[in-house]
Amino acid sequence: MQRGVLFRFSLALLFGSSTALGGQTFPIGDEFQINTYTDGGQYFPAVASDPEGNFVAVWQSDGSYGTDSSNFSIQGQRYASDGLPIGDEFQINTYTSNRQEFASVAMDGAGAFVVVWASSGSYETDLFNPSIQGQRYDSNGSPIGNQIQVNTFTTGNQVFPAVASDPQGNFVVVWQSRGSSGTDGSGYSIQGQRYASDGSVIGGEFQVNTYITGHQERSSVAMEADGSFAVVWESFGSSGTDASDLSIQGRRYDSNGSPIGGEFQVNTYTTEGQRFPSVAIDTAGDFVVVFQSFGSDGTDSAGTSIQARRYGSDGTAIGSEFQVNTYTTSFQATPKVATGPFGDFVVVWRSLGSSGTDFSLTSVQAQRYDAGGTPVGAQFQVNTFITNDQYFPGVATDARGTFVVVWNSIGSAGTDNSSSSIQGQRYGTPIFTDGFESGDTSAWSSTVP
């Protein structure tokens, strides 16, 4: 029996299977506004959860309650596993000159977390171009040490960082760099840097991509329990079969940071461009990549679709690329993926229109899958506030099988109607919901997907 199958079989014996109970997914409570600072826009949220369901959301804010009111700042808000806020919204960046943008967050098994972002300037060596910054926090939300500069190569722009952590708190940061101290000087490359759980640097900055023609952009990273990790990104061209336009590339690394095999092409549909990849890895080491595709081998030929491909813990593709969205009118864009406790996973994305209630502009959609890659229920609409645009979603899961989705909303059912707000919605499955286990089904929605 393969390692991933054996691990999930053991979990199922201990806890049961959400799919065995029918796989129901239901909202826990109502859609909620995350930001409390409402002057100016709030953009590009990201979210991370610990195994118990405590979570933290981070985003880019046009202003701040804190010290940074001159430009975009990076803000955060912590939540307990019951969905209640822990403390107040807080400013993450301490360097406040110029813009701070595009935050990413990862949380370890004890609830400590690390936030990374792009900064126009730095306390350290990168003074003239956007750099990659980071800040660590303990499980109580207190900063650990000072803000740090991640990149050591400082020529050109460093943007769009992503971070992943293992349960012990070791983490890896990847980003898009204009140039490289490695072999890629043709355009943007994908760079990485590993860190130990105490925040110390492990080795030097390294180049991820080996295909160096054209730009390599918008990377995503996921880390396994043993510290091995997978990186995916979009590439202008490919050393594989896709030379027509943008492709999705990937590379695996072991727990020592050594590459496992070569760079590989994820997408098999190669007509026009594939963009915005996201990767998630489960506790057994199996991983799934989702991305936006112009067209599809499936049913969606109207515009851009959401595609996915699954991989085993040995890096072997499990089946073919498949289409996630079933609503196919107009475009589907910017997907994110998170894995659950049994190898199940959930995909969220932005959709122009909806098979639900939101026809005004773009909505946030989701689709759950079991460990075998079979859809659990139908595609469903996440947002209940349906005026104007809902976009750029993020998602995080916990060991109980619950998950939280965050996104940008133009307006809010809450207090923020000035511009763009940050919204959230929690979801559960019966097996891991205390209220359901005690017989209280009040959290069930009449519109269960």
Model pLDDT for residues 350-383, shown as the tens digit of each residue: 999 888 887 778 999 999 999 999 999 999 999 9
Q: For residue 108, tell me if it sits in a domain.
A: yes
Query: What single letter denotes the amino acid at residue 444?
Result: W
Mean pLDDT of 77-98: 95
Does residue 125 carry a pLDDT above 80? no
Q: For residue 17, tell me if it sits in a domain.
A: no
Q: For residue 423, tell me if it sits in a domain.
A: no
Is 0.85 topped by the overall pTM?
yes
pLDDT at residue 7 in the model: 42
Confirm if 405 and 364 have CB atoms less than 8 A apart. Answer: yes
pLDDT at residue 64 in the model: 75
CA 51 from centroid of its chain's CA atoms: 16
pLDDT at residue 68 in the model: 58
Q: For residue 305, tell me if it sits in a domain.
A: no
Distance between start and end Cα atoms, the chain = 33
Q: For residue 163, tell me if it sits in a domain.
A: yes
Identify the band that residue 423 occupies on the pLDDT scale cut at 50, 70 and 90. Answer: very high
Rg of the chain taking only CA atoms, in angstroms = 20
Range of the domain at 92: 50-207
**Domains held by the chain: number:** 1
Does residue 27 carry a pLDDT above 70? yes
Confirm if 321 and 268 have CB atoms less than 8 A apart. Answer: yes
pLDDT at residue 296 in the model: 85
Q: For residue 203, tell me if it sits in a domain.
A: yes
Confirm if 36 and 442 have CB atoms less than 8 A apart. Answer: no
CATH number of the domain that residue 169 is part of = 2.120.10.10
Q: Which of 161-175, 383-397, 416-430 has the lowest mean pLDDT?
A: 416-430
Does residue 8 carry a pLDDT above 80? no
Q: For residue 267, tell me if it sits in a domain.
A: no
Mean of the per-residue pLDDT values for the chain? 88
Q: Which residue has the tokens 């890659």?
A: 373
Mean pLDDT of 28-48: 95
Identify the band that residue 16 occupies on the pLDDT scale cut at 50, 70 and 90. Answer: very low
Mean pLDDT of 293-319: 92
Confirm if 344 and 370 have CB atoms less than 8 A apart. Answer: yes
pLDDT at residue 332 in the model: 95
For the stretch 224-249, pLDDT in tens is 999 999 999 999 988 788 777 899 99
Q: For residue 45, tell me if it sits in a domain.
A: no
Q: Minimal CA–CA distance to 229: which of 147, 106, 113?
A: 106
